[in-house]
Chain A
Amino acid sequence: MTGFDAVVIGAGVLGAATALDLAESGLSVLVLERGAPNREGSGTTAGNLHIQAVHTRRPGQAVPLDSQALLPAQKASGQLWAEAEERLDADLEVRRNGGFMVAETPGQCAELRTKHLWEEQSGLRTEVLDGDAAREALPLLGPTVEAATWCSDDGYANPLKVAPAYLAAARRNAAQVRAFTPVTGLQRRGARWRVETPAGHYDTPVVINVAGPWIGDVCAMAGLRLRMSPVAIQMHATVRERPLLHHLVQHIGEGMSVKQVTSGNLLIGGGWPARRMEQEGRSHASSRSLTGNVAQAARILPVLSGLRLLRMWAGPLAATPDEMPLIGAVPGAPGFYVAGGTYAFTFAPLWGETLGRLIREEQPRVDVSPFSPDRLTETGRASLTPTRKGVTPC
């Protein structure tokens, strides 16, 4: 068969979640993946489920992101994650033990309080603790912690299980998945798209470009310009430990996250970037950033300095120039949809459902118009809304 109702480009977590939504609604779906599924951003991610408002800026990030604007999507994602294992009939190692977001400076403390107000307005329950109260709640926190917000909905899931479970469910609904089948060309032919691969071409009215850091390249094949700024960041895992840490710990100013996963390893994510984003081949972790990331994490959780590093890896990220997510139809290209950008793991269940609804012309669960690709196209450039100034990193 060379015709499909929808062709999904990229078998990361967004491609997998979208394929399931579309296949469940009865469409014939083909997923094309350049390599093996779940090996890029979605297989290398920290896998945190960020429900409380996120930090606004990691070191090296050019502009702060508008974390307030993400709250409705985070809240909805929190609900969808609660149902994910049942829906997929799979153990995703979803753990919702709650998380702390810590602050070390007066500026960061003020940020925590502002963010807490937004969360209240959005109907998300968080609590602000001063340093001592935070240490009482989590004695592992170090002496530099001045305040923390606590959100009982924060958590993580095992990224090695999530996208594969979505793909398996999509395949149970008759979606087809082709690994090692890169999309090499996209042509508009009448009312359809012709999707070209070295193994042949496929015709479809609907193309979903969820190629992660390669979204821009795939757009270019269709003659579309989308301004993206992919980066690579890195993760660090310790050897397995006895249970030490039950919660997610993040930093409001530094893009740091630490948790202990089900297998017992502690995963340390940091804002220090990987060596460089490799458009071809794989990105490499940076030793310099290793030291930067570990220093941040060990300051907040001194217990880490007694552990051993087992491995580290880099993962590519489909960042946008304004650091905000990207989802919707691309203007001027009928039937051409994109999704990606910030926190796509947390948002995966929601973005999968949202793309399905947009394609079926149904009302999405949350208003995604602020995240429309319009702002990143050449024509939409003038209307690019400046990021809100409510939160300024110090």
Chain B
Amino acid sequence: MTQPTTIRTADAAVVGAGPAGLAAALELGLAGLRVLLLDEQSAPGGQYYRSPGPEAVREVGDHRPAGARLIARVRACGVRVLSGHTVWGVEDDRRGLLAAGPDGDPVIVRADRIVVATGAYERSVPFPGWQLPGVVTPGLAQHMCAEGVRLGRSAVVAGSGPFLLPVACALLERGVRVLAVAEAGRPYTPRPAALGALRFPARLVELASYTARLARHGVRLHQDTVVAEASGRERVREVTLVRRSDPRRVVGRHGADVLCVGYGFRPQSDLAQLLGCDMGRDPATGDPVPLLGAAGRSSVPWVHVVGEAAGVAGAPTALLRGRAAAFDILAARGRTVGRRSRRAVTARLASLARFNGLTSRLYPDPARLTAELAAGLPGDTLVCRCEGVTADTLRSAACLPGGSDVPALKGSTRAGMGPCQSRECGPALDALRGRGTGAGAVPARVPLRPVPLSTVLHLRAFGEET
């Protein structure tokens, strides 16, 4: 049974304990503010600093010790870290956060300032067979590797983006044979666009070290290559790779029991949306993103949005955005923040933005790539795995009046209505909708995650008292 509602008040509530949330909480905590840091995972760290379990650390080590140090500093400066706390809704005044603790116990958080640092989702694009066990996202694969888990005997890594390479290396390290890495774009062919990257030697060295390691293990790195199909009965057995520019050309058929495929990340901005932040649409990715001013200020005066939730840009940017927002909040409270450190943050953010601009130019635009891949899907491909909706069902719904609207498509086909609430099929629905006026995504809704009704019932008890 759940306990009655706990109400917590604070100067600032930070949602998400990844690099961005940790960095924001640290600065606010160091300045003496009462800070609550909520995260749904059982331990802080987010995607980047997710700490492997103690056994895994003993056996395979912690691959990112900087995370553990940052978390320790956050705790030491008095920030109250609430792990296992899922924020699932907001109060009607859009100030209070409704959360569920580890046992579903209801928690209401009321703070003067809210920092949304909810990170990103992995971006998926459907293909025939993507519902088979053995098909995983790079993020999941990397976490399993960090936990010391061997996902299978042999793997194909596919999709698009720089993170495919480290994931392939992590799989190798766990003793998985990597049969091929397939990149949809052509980022590794030197082109004038890539030359700018020479100004960021550290990043190039990192990239080169991954490619070298893959080469040592004899892993072929295919460019302009995508997954056409995964097949198998109970699990993936075979993966077919084809040319992206000529899908009839088979690049390879691999007998693999793991297929790790992903197309980068999508900002997880639904909490910002629930809080009433004005939203826009990222032209390159098609994703809904909050419209932000300097230092992550949203259109809602008490809400800052930082990290990947503000737009996907990698961990170093996430950290800096968190700090910048914290400085902004402190300045608004009349605290003097060293001008030097503020300026340094701004300068580093600008430099990272240049690097990110160059990198993203190397890889295909996610929105265009998704549209292209979705257009080529065989009719019986499951696009919405939760509700079992096929590409053909969506294509015919897209031709009906209103079929240019993703919420209408959802209504007429049930696509996106299942447990994932279109987190996985969202980009594909956007790509498959008809041409014309209409929304490209469904609006954020309460609850952000399924929540026990008993949690809701105990909120009621609180409501009656006041």
Q: Which residues of A contact B (CB under 8 A)?
A: 11, 33, 35-39, 43, 160, 164, 167-168, 177-180, 238-239, 263, 275, 282, 285-288, 290-292, 294-295, 298, 304-313
Contacts and interface: CB of A to CB of B under 8 A. Distances in A.
17 contacts: A11-B401, A36-B403, A39-B402, A43-B411, A168-B400, A178-B401, A179-B408, A282-B443, A287-B446, A288-B463, A291-B460, A291-B463, A294-B457, A307-B452, A309-B452, A311-B447, A312-B447
B453 A36 contact: no
Given A286-B92, A288-B92, A179 B401 contact: yes
Nearest to A311: B445
B272 to A, nearest CB: 15
Interface string B396-407: 000011111101
Contacts of A37: 401-402, 408
Given A305-B453, A309-B451, 5 more contacts: A37-B401, A287-B90, A291-B456, A307-B452, A312-B446
B421 interface: yes
Contact of A39 (B91, B404, B408, B447): B408
A307 B402 contact: no
A37 B408 CA distance: 8
Contacts of A39: 402, 405, 407-408, 411
B405 A287 contact: no
B145 interface: no
B438 interface: yes
A288 B414 CA distance: 27
Nearest to A164: B412
Contacts of A11: 401-402
A312 B447 CA distance: 7
B456 A294 contact: yes
Contacts of B452: 307-309
A309 B387 CA distance: 17
Contacts of B401: 11, 33, 36-37, 167, 177-179
Contacts of B283: none
Interface centre among B89, B447, B452 (most CB of A within 10 A): B447
| Chain B interface extent, by class | 35 or more
Given A36-B405, A290-B446, A275 B92 contact: yes
Contacts of A294: 453, 456-457, 460
A363 B415 CA distance: 43
A165 B414 CA distance: 15
A184 to B, nearest CB: 15
Contact of A308 (B387, B450, B459): B450
A179 B421 CA distance: 25
Interface in B25-40: none
A246 to B, nearest CB: 20
A261 B401 CA distance: 26
Contacts of B98: 287
B189 interface: no
A135 B186 CA distance: 67
Given A286-B92, A294-B456, A310-B419, A160 B414 contact: yes
Interface string B436-451: 1110000101110011
Nearest to B104: A308
A308 to B, nearest CB: 4
Given A11-B401, A38-B408, A275-B92, A239 B463 contact: no
B341 interface: no
Given A35-B405, A178-B401, A305-B454, A285 B445 contact: yes
A308 B446 contact: no
B308 to A, nearest CB: 24
In the A-B complex, list the 5 residue pairs whose CB atoms are closest, starting with the nearest.
Answer: A36-B402, A36-B408, A179-B402, A179-B401, A291-B460
Contacts of B436: 180
Interface centre among B436, B450, B456 (most CB of A within 10 A): B456
A304 B405 CA distance: 33
A253 to B, nearest CB: 18
Contacts of A275: 92
A122 B387 CA distance: 42
B463 to A, nearest CB: 6
A290 B459 CA distance: 10
A238 B437 CA distance: 31
A309 B456 contact: yes
Nearest to B91: A287
B5 to A, nearest CB: 10
Contacts of A304: 453
Contact of A305 (B412, B417, B457): B457
A305 B456 CA distance: 9
Interface string B374-393: 00000000000001000000
A180 B400 CA distance: 12
Contact of A288 (B91, B445, B451): B91
Contacts of A36: 401-405, 407-408, 411, 438
A33 B451 CA distance: 35
Contacts of B454: 305-306
Given A36-B438, A313-B445, A295 B457 contact: yes
Contacts of A310: 419, 421, 447, 450
A334 B89 CA distance: 49
Given A37-B408, A282-B443, A291-B456, A308 B451 contact: yes
A167 B397 CA distance: 13
